[in-house]
Amino acid sequence: MTRRAFADVSVGDALPETTVHITRATLVQYAGASLDRNPIHWDERFAQSVGLPDVIAHGMFTMGAAATTVEDWAGDAGAVVELGTRFTKPVVVSYDEGADVVYGGKVTALDEQTRQATLEVSATCGEDKVLGRCTARVQLA
């Protein structure tokens, strides 16, 4: 892919919306890859025994999908200089339906000197905002 050019970006530009469908299988695969095998991410009975409504997605999976949205917009994974967020609500993943997290965002600032864009990234599951204060800095070409 080609890194997005500074001249082609304006404050207010929107990131395309991306929906990530999460299933229990997704969580088991992520648990294996990340070595985060906490049973709240795969065992419904255990998750409910600690007060959760059901199994929840790994926070780092949710954040990683936000990073992928930024990488896709930037055109180069190496262009993402910084990404940070706060986890505001868990993503509840039901056995039958899974969960859909919708990612998007917009360009909030451009720095001509560094040729970097600051992005505000959104992540929602149903009516719930699952990431808060999610921002990224991207190095543009």
Say how many C-beta atoms besides its own lie within 10 A of residue 84's C-beta: 12
pLDDT in tens, the chain (141 residues): 799 999 999 999 999 999 999 999 999 999 999 999 999 999 999 999 999 999 999 999 999 999 999 999 999 999 999 999 999 999 999 999 999 999 999 999 999 999 999 999 999 999 999 999 999 999 999
68 phi/psi in degrees, rounded to 5: -65, -40
Residue 27 lies in a domain: yes
Backbone conformation region of residue 100, classed left if phi is above 0, alpha if psi is from -120 to 50, else beta: beta
CATH code for the domain of 28: 3.10.129.10
114 part of a folded domain: yes
Q: Is 1 among the domain residues?
A: no
What is the distance of C-alpha 81 from the center of its chain? 16
State whether residue 61 is helix, strand or coil.
helix
Which tens digits make up the pLDDT trace of 87-111?
999 999 999 999 999 999 999 999 9
If one counts the domains in the chain, the total is 1
Overall pTM surpassing 0.85 (yes/no): yes
Domain extent for 42: 6-139
